[in-house]
A and B are shown apart, each in its own frame.
Chain A
Amino acid sequence: MNITRRHFLIGLSIAAIPGLSMAQNHGDHGSGHNGVHNSGHANHSNQDMGHDAHSNHTPGMSHGTKVGREGRPQDVKQTIQINMHDQNKFMPNRVEVKAGETVRFFVRNMGQNKHEFVIGSQQELHKHAQMMKQDPNMAHKDPNMISLKPRQRGGVVWHFDKPGTYYFGCLQPGHLDEGMIGTIEVK
């Protein structure tokens, strides 16, 4: 193994300045605020065709919503935990949110079946649930929803701009009909 000095200089630098003061604050990275390279926003939705470039499903439909819009993780003011159960229910099934705030729904699948958490109006949810019945294997992915396999957890970051009553439901075939729906009161 013959490392030439020049080679060696390229890759490595040796610090030899003793006594630099070690300030009490955080490093320039890893601190969550000062200087973290933080590209918020990881889930790009695709628009009207619901055709997600990252998954290989047949171009199906979007199950997006006109209720509010996708929020940015750095704007989250409130985190709401929602657990999904095999009795086809959400716990809790009623939540309150302030208009103009960005909320993170942190969702866990506590059961042995697949479940989904989808935000929308009652009408939108029922329409999308019908579509899912016709094509149960339709892959769908939009920023207003998360599909979770058993034991998985995930989340949706959403911004509600207008007061009103909105809903979250599970679009797995039959689940909505059995009452797997919850309300979001935006005040």
Chain B
Amino acid sequence: MMHTQISRRHLLRSAMAGTAAVGLSPWVNSAWANPKITQLGHAPTLSGTEIDLVVDETLVNMSGKDRMAVTINGSLPAPTLRFREGDTVTIRVTNRLQQDTSIHWHGIILPFNMDGVPGVSFPGIKPGKTFTYEFTLEQSGTYWYHSHSGMQEQQGMYGAMIVEPAMPEPIEFDREHVIMLSDWTDENPHRIVEKLKIKGHYYNRNEPTVFDFFKDVKELGFGGAMQKREMWNQMRMSPTDLADISGYTYQYLTNGTPQKANWTGLFKAGETVRLRYINSAAASFFDVRIPGLKMTVVQADGQNVEPVEVDEFRFGPGETYDVLVTPVKEAYTLFAQSIDRSGFARGTLATQMGMSADVPEMDPVQWLETQDMMGAMNHGAHGGHAGHDMGGDTMDHSAHEMAANTQTDHSAHGAHDAHAGHTMAENPLAKPSQQVRHSKHEYGASVDMRVDTPRTNLDDPGIGLRNNGRRVLTYADLRTLGGPLDPRKPEREIELHLTGNMHRYVWSIDGVEYGKSEPIPFQFGERIRVILHNDTMMTHPMHLHGMWSELESPDGEFLVRKHTISVQPAQRVSFLVTADALGRWVWHCHIMYHMDTGMFREVVVS
């Protein structure tokens, strides 16, 4: 059913190159005499309750150069696992690499020692060893799995996991396809990190040029154009820093295949097709659309939502959306451009193989706007910030940090004295706090900016998608069917700031990199509100392992249950978590390079 157009000749060419390890990238295991060829573009489906997975290095050729990928069962993407809700599954993972490996089941609720994070959930899987995962599926929907070791996720180690619901579900469709989008580089990912450390903008090929300057002079006058440059120079940033790593090194893949392969999913006219979109990229946000087709979003991160019809959606690494489409023409392009417009992934939905539709032009690159840097420009409630000194802010914010703690002891009310007509005071935790509290560690070298007036609205599709004439999905559109998993209001609130220094390429939480941080404690059984406040100019897809994140509106209303929440630049969002899973978990940005350089924390539920 799923075919790709990789010719046999192309495969043979790759195969011949495998006889010599010379010319392969430095991270290739030189012990290979005859490396196996990776099967691209049609992941086999494995189902049942006993699964065997083998992790190995296999050969790929995405762009004319032979490279080694890290794959599972020789396939990229890895096999699609199909399970049933309620089943207990046993998955044996054998490591044939020369390095440790691991598999994390992204978004799956399971015991912490099955979560697959080396050093936290378990020691990892040593070369030559087999680790047996066993867990019971207490959820259904579209999920995925990937390595949590080294840079293996960037090198091809990811696959889809679909859990069929035990009860009939409200989504009706005639046919389905997994659409797994990812990024591939011929470079050694470790080298990418080194380059970024030397120059954070290394892969940004959209930096303003002299032509932009003359255009600005025309629009803003000479003074204005100079001022605009001046501002960015002062911040030591670039207005086009939308993604760290771009199409300059990346190829964007649809189900493991580059553009030219034109991965094709088939349908019959009149069918309703369910597309399970999974962003399994290491570092890329995609803006997804199918020109000529409306998409009805029915599931977000594996959880059913009230259907919402859109032309386009953006999603970050780790997020998934299931959409229904009803195609009538013979062929449509599955188009997914990277957020920085440096390239796109492409596939086709067609009635037969070998067809294609027009591929749209990419949208123009947009510069970050005011709201991306400063958030809300409504200063009504945030007096007293004028006069922040750009040259080094030594203001002591300690006064803000312990904002009035409005804790009052209401225990007396529990005793049921008759208070006829008594109205309760407003619950101090009914709405997420708007009071910005920067940690004292945010005033160090790891942080190059702080946002004091964040925006809290969730109806902004984000930079590059604003007012583009298309109906673009936002978090404000999403409503999980059945409401929250826990009816309680939060019992306490914590605030975490997403921080970084672009220039040094370090990322952190509250200004503290993982290596210097302590775990965040959750008390078993508590209902907790987490506020994520983004003090950077990049969007971060934050993934909490082991527990659901229930996103709320700025007014504290439940919206949508997710496992990965993307926080836009200068944005402040909040969600509720029920600490219902004992053990050690992690919380991190799902941009692999941000996680790797420090935007990662351990969470302990005890």
Please give the residue numbers on chain A whose beta carbons come within 8 Å of chain B beta carbons, in ascending order: 1-5, 7-33, 35-49, 53, 62, 64-66, 69-74, 76, 79, 81, 104, 106, 108, 143-144, 146-149, 151-155, 157, 159
Contacts of A72 in B (CB 8 A): 409, 411
Q: Which 4 A-B pairs have the closest CB atoms?
A: A11-B374, A27-B439, A106-B525, A70-B414
User: Given B230, B386, B448, B486, which contacts A5 in the complex, CB threshold below 8 Å?
Assistant: B230
- Minimum Cβ distance to chain B for residue A7 (Å): 7
B128 within 8 A of A: no
User: Do B525 and A13 touch (CB < 8 A)?
Assistant: no
Contact residues of B: prevailing secondary structure? loop
For residue B317, CB closer than 8 A to chain A, the reply is no
Cβ of B385 and Cβ of A11 under 8 Å apart? yes
Most chain A CB within a 10 A radius of its CB, from B386, B429, B433: B429
Which residues in A have their C-beta under 8 angstroms from that of B522? 32
Interface residues on B, range: 35 or more
Contact present for A40 and B414 (CB under 8 Å) = no
B9 within 8 A of A: no
In angstroms, how far is the closest chain B Cβ from the Cβ of A111?
Answer: 13
List 12 contacting pairs A-B, 8 Å CB cutoff, sorted by A. Answer: A10-B377, A10-B379, A11-B453, A12-B374, A19-B445, A22-B441, A35-B402, A45-B413, A45-B424, A69-B415, A73-B526, A81-B525
* B424 in contact with A10 (CB, 8 Å): no
Least CB distance from A66 to B in Å reads 7
Among candidates A1, A38, A46, residue contacting B493 with C-beta atoms closer than 8 Å: A38
| A5 pairs with B227, CB closer than 8 A | yes
Asked whether, in the complex, the Cβ of B420 is within 8 Å of the Cβ of A43, the reply is no
On chain A, the residues within 8 Å of B526 by CB distance are 73, 104, 155
Q: Is the CB of B521 within 8 A of A32?
A: yes
A36 and B494 in contact (CB under 8 A), knowing A69-B414, A70-B410? yes
- Chain B positions near chain A (C-beta within 8 angstroms): 220, 224, 227-228, 230-231, 234-235, 367, 369-370, 373-375, 377, 379, 385-395, 398, 401-403, 405-411, 413-420, 422-425, 427-429, 433, 435, 437, 439-453, 482-497, 509-513, 516-518, 520-527, 570, 578, 580
Bound together, the chains give a CA A157 to CA B485 distance in angstroms of: 18
Chain A nearest CB from B463 CB (Å) reads 12
Bound state CA distance, A27 and B443, in angstroms? 11
Whether the pair B525, A10 counts as a contact (CB closer than 8 A) is no
Question: In the complex, how many angstroms separate the beta carbon of B313 from the nearest chain A beta carbon?
Answer: 25
Give the residue of B411, B433, B488, B509 whose beta carbon is less than 8 angstroms from that of A71: B411
Task: Find chain A residues with CB under 8 A from B408 CB.
Answer: 41
Contact for A2 among B220, B393, B422, CB less than 8 A: B220
Residues on A with C-beta less than 8 A from B385 are 10-11
Nearest residue, chain A, Cβ from B375? A11
| Chain A residues, CB < 8 A from B442 | 15, 27
Measured between alpha carbons, how far is A21 from B520 in the docked complex, in Å? 21
Query: What's the minimum C-beta distance from B456 to chain A, rounded to whole angstroms?
Result: 14
18 further A-B contacts with Cβ under 8 Å, apart from A10-B388, A38-B492, are A1-B367, A11-B375, A26-B518, A27-B441, A30-B439, A39-B492, A42-B429, A44-B410, A44-B424, A46-B422, A47-B418, A53-B423, A62-B416, A69-B411, A70-B413, A79-B524, A146-B488, A154-B578
Task: Determine the chain A residues whose CB is within 8 A of the CB of B483 once the complex forms.
Answer: 149
| A32 proximity list for chain B (CB < 8 A) | 494, 520-522
Task: Tell whether, in the assembled complex, residue A3 and residue B231 are in contact, meaning their CB atoms are under 8 Å apart.
Answer: yes
Q: A104 contacts B510, CB within 8 Å?
A: no
CB distance from A116 to the nearest CB of B (A): 11
* B416:A66 contact, CB within 8 angstroms: yes
Contact of A15 among B387, B393, B435, B492 (CB under 8 A): B393
Residue of A nearest to B521 (CB): A32
Q: Is the CB of A37 within 8 A of B495?
A: yes
Please name the residue on chain B nearest to A76 by beta carbon. B523
Rounded to whole angstroms, the CA-CA distance of A149 and B480 in the bound complex is 15
CB neighbours (8 Å) of A157 from chain B are 491
CB nearest neighbor in B for A11: B374
Q: How far is the CA of A73 from the CA of B188 in the complex (A)?
A: 49
